[in-house]
């Protein structure tokens, strides 16, 4: 596992017009896997929302720590995408061709659960959802609705 020592975080300090109108900072982390998947987590300082409770959170080191912990948690949960991307991925599966579309995810975020409902209501697509005990992940598959681009110019 020497591979995990490969950590590089780019620092991007903007100034002038490219820095916008308010002070702020944050960090986005991405774990890349051997199968080409990418899992991300981020933490952003909410200086404008600062209250006495959150003041402790606003030290940059804490923001960095928080993002790293969130990333490790996303990796631990498993799946080919992180929680924030589950909904989009399931929607694309449902709109895919009329054959098997399959993905492996970690525990489903509420947004992903709602996506399963929406694709049934709008596209008539029913996912098969199979939790796998050994890997603690969920295997989802469906027959896509075969959505075609009706707007694209006919070549």
Return the residues of window 85-144 that contact another protein according to CB under 8 A. 85, 87-89, 91-93, 95-97, 99-104, 111, 114-115, 118-119, 121-123, 137, 139, 144
**Residue whose CB is less far from another protein, 52 or 153:** 153
Residue with tokens 């659960």, as numbered in its chain: 113
Tokens of 90: 């399931």
- State the minimum distance, in angstroms, from the CB of residue 129 to another protein: 14
User: Which DSSP letter does residue 85 get?
Assistant: G
- State the minimum distance, in angstroms, from the CB of residue 52 to another protein: 19
Residue with tokens 């903007």, as numbered in its chain: 14
- State the minimum distance, in angstroms, from the CB of residue 145 to another protein: 8
- State the minimum distance, in angstroms, from the CB of residue 57 to another protein: 11
Q: Report d(CA 86, CA 104) in Å as an integer.
A: 10
Q: Report d(CA 9, CA 49) in Å as an integer.
A: 26
Angle between helices 110-123 and 86-95 (to 10 degrees): 20
Q: Does 149 bind another protein (CB under 8 A)?
A: yes
- State the minimum distance, in angstroms, from the CB of residue 66 to another protein: 8
> By CB under 8 A, how many residues form the interface with another protein?
101
> Do the Cβ atoms of 74 and 83 come closer than 8 Å?
yes
46 burial class (0-12, 13-18, 19+ CB within 10 angstroms)?
middle
Interface with another protein in residues 17-76 (CB under 8 A): 17-40, 42-44, 46-48, 59-69, 71-72, 75
Q: Does 8 bind another protein (CB under 8 A)?
A: yes
**Residue whose CB is less far from another protein, 85 or 108:** 85
Q: Report d(CA 16, CA 87) in Å as an integer.
A: 37
């Amino acid at each position: 596992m020497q591979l995990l020592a490969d950590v590089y975080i780019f620092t991007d300090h903007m100034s002038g017009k490219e820095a916008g109108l308010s002070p702020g900072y944050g960090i986005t982390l991405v774990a890349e896997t051997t199968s080409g998947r990418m899992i991300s987590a981020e933490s952003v300082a909410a200086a404008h929302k600062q209250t006495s409770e959150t003041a402790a959170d606003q030290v940059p080191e804490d923001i960095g720590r928080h993002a790293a912990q969130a990333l490790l948690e996303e990796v631990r949960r498993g799946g080919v995408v992180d929680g924030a991307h589950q909904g989009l991925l399931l929607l694309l599966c449902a709109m895919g061709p009329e054959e098997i579309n399959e993905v492996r995810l970690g525990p489903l975020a509420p947004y992903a659960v709602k996506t399963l409902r929406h694709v049934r209501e709008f596209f008539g697509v029913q996912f098969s959802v199979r939790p796998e005990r050994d890997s603690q992940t969920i295997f989802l598959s469906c027959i896509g609705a075969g959505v075609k681009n009706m707007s694209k110019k006919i070549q």
